[in-house]
Amino acid sequence: MHSIGTRRMYRRIEADYPSCYLTSHSVRLAAVRDISLNGFRVRCLSAPPDQTILELHLWLPGQKDGMTIDQAVVRWAEQDEFGVQIVSLSNDVDCRLAEHIEQLLRQRLSGESAEDALAKASGLYQFARQ
């Protein structure tokens, strides 16, 4: 694991979500390994260099549609893993991400199952969109 020289603004939550990222030259499959409101840790076959600007697509469990992070910047990179800071995303994606993270935090505090938490998160999101 890498060393981190800065303090995190938001709590990171372990994850394993399918994703892909787009740079100006390529599209790559990946997996988001942890999430926060400010960024992600991403596992891949070959990490892009530090300071690369990319678009990231992410599929959260229990949600029909994927979400797009319009712009993120690579803040650190190792051979098969990198961290991104979110630079730009739509209001809808911002709300969906925040609701998902809040539900995961509540799940951890209450000890409820992941399936129950995801079902509730999916239902809350659908209700909010009506």
User: pLDDT tens digits for 3-54?
Assistant: 344 445 557 889 999 999 999 999 999 999 999 999 999 999 999 999 999 9
Same domain, 23 and 81: yes
- SS3 at position 17: strand
Are residues 124 and 109 part of one domain?
yes
Residues sharing a CB contact under 8 Å with residue 14, sequence separation 6 or more, in sequence order? 33, 34
Instruction: Say yes or no: 19 and 80 in one domain.
Output: yes
For 76, residues 6+ apart whose C-beta sits below 8 A from its C-beta are 2, 4, 50, 82, 83
Residues 84 and 25 in one domain: yes
Say whether both 96 and 70 belong to one domain: no
Is 82 among the domain residues? yes
Q: Are residues 97 and 119 in the same domain?
A: yes
**Do residue 76 and residue 122 come from a single domain?**
no
Distance in angstroms between the alpha carbons of the first and the last residue of the chain: 43
Domain holding 55: CATH number?
2.40.10.220
The pTM of the full predicted model, rounded to 2 decimals, is 0.76
| Cβ–Cβ under 8 Å, residues 83 and 35 | no
Backbone angles phi, psi at 80, to 5 degrees: -125, 25
Question: Is the pLDDT assigned to residue 124 strictly greater than 90?
Answer: no
Q: Same domain for 74 and 101?
A: no
Overall average pLDDT of the 100-126 stretch: 70
Q: Would 8 be classed as within a structural domain?
A: no
In contact, 19 and 42? CB cutoff 8 Å: yes
Domain count, the chain: 2
Amino acid 125: pLDDT: 46
DSSP 3-state of 12 = coil
Between residues 113 and 1, which one has the greater pLDDT?
Answer: 113
In a domain, 6, yes or no: no
Residue 117: the pLDDT is: 56
Q: 108 is in which domain, residue-wise?
A: 91-129
Count of all residues that appear for the chain in the document: 130
Residue 108: predicted pLDDT: 82
Same domain, 28 and 71: yes
What is residue 122's predicted lDDT score, i.e. its pLDDT?
55
* The predicted structure's pLDDT at residue 42: 98
* Mean pLDDT score across all residues of the chain: 85
Select, from the ranges 44-48, 112-116, 120-124, the one with the highest average predicted confidence (pLDDT): 44-48
